[in-house]
Structure 1
């Protein structure tokens, strides 16, 4: 532990944007706490970061599980002495006609995308309020502000995540806590029907592009907050 280094929790850390951000922050001497479902991928990421000279914490579990989230946040605060950043990156998607969704699928998407953002944010707030500073960043999607055919469930969850983040920003600004939301367009990741690296994605954003953008939001002077950042590949109409 080094109190001179900033501390960040990243949910959805084992793949895609979360993984790229974790590696970028490790290069900038962040103390990291990594959350994801896949313990094997988390161990691999933790080992890679340890080789870079920093030993991260990692927690395998579901961000919609209140007890799990509380324990992960408290362990992070106890180990590193503070929580400077909470990156709400965990997300799942489901697409298709509305009558194709099951109740279980609806609950799964909302539990991860909305409840997970709520629980992670709620649990870091006492630590940030005590410090009179901190930064919560939700990684949303441009479909938090638009809709598309076949996206009723996913769009609804991202609209809800966006609304929660917007309201939270107004609530905690007086406490010295920053709240930002990053809205991405098409990103070459595991999230799509085609595999990551598919030739159809060659003009899309990379996970590293997104990590750089998130780090830009994080790396502002204390008196500056970027409330929202919308980012697209040039090839995508919005």
Structure 2
């Protein structure tokens, strides 16, 4: 299915997977709503997108802010007349023993990974219901299906995000709205301690690999929904 003329909202859009996806969709002439905390990075991305002939609106703030989610959706509907998809890509992790996790760290991780997914999905659903179509894609992690030592906070947030997605899928399918979840393994992005492009990441997935997968899910025909997609680099055994 052609994506030209579609309107897609991406959270965590300023770098990594979100940025790669925005540029890939811009090449397909998709109208974009870009959400992130860094205004400078968003402005630079918007300029690149416009050079590709596509349109983009930027929204600066924290995805756990309900006013930001509401304003973002309202602005995109006014600007483009519709909202075809929301990509809940913003993610945050803290990795340490449970006894060392602070209350603030716990709240911050859940605010981004769970509350942000909830708020932007909630804001988009009424317009999607009215249109009789729409697509919510939540970028989770393979740790939504497994756990590891030192991952009690991050893993539990991703389990929660996945549970929300699965229940939401059952809730909105009757309105023609799709809900997909992508579970990724190791991806070479800024998310990790080592910088993006570090030689230790040579065999990992690239941000463009993830953008390809998300674009593939978005491009499925109207009668097809890819509920779940697990993706890993060949070097990582799951």
Does 2:209 match 1:223? no
RMSD: 1.0
Q: Confirm whether residue 147 of structure 1 aligns to residue 147 of structure 2.
A: yes
User: Per-residue CA shift, 1:98-154, capped at 9, x if unaligned?
Assistant: 111110010000000000000000000000000000000000000000000000000
| Contact preservation (8 Å) 2:27, 2:54 | no
SS at match of 2:236: coil
Provide the residue aligned with 2:162 in structure 1: 162
Q: Which segments of structure 1 move beyond 4 Å, counting only runs of 4 or more?
A: none
Q: Give the stretch that moved more between structures: 95-104 or 123-132.
A: 95-104
Q: 1-side partners of 2:23 and 2:193: how far apart?
A: 25
Count of residues in correspondence between the two structures: 236
Extract unaligned runs of 5+ from structure 1: none
Is 1:109 the counterpart of 2:114? The answer is no
State how far apart, in whole Å, the 1-side matches of 2:157 and 2:79 are. 33
The alignment partner of 1:225 has SS state of: coil
CA distance in 1, matches of 2:173, 2:68: 27
1:87 maps to 87
Query: After the TM superposition, which of the residue ranges 49-58 and 13-22 deviates more from structure 2?
Result: 49-58
TM-score using structure 1 length: 0.98
Tell me the TM-score normalized by structure 2.
Answer: 0.98
Q: Secondary structure at the match of 1:166?
A: helix
In structure 2, runs of 5+ residues without a counterpart are none
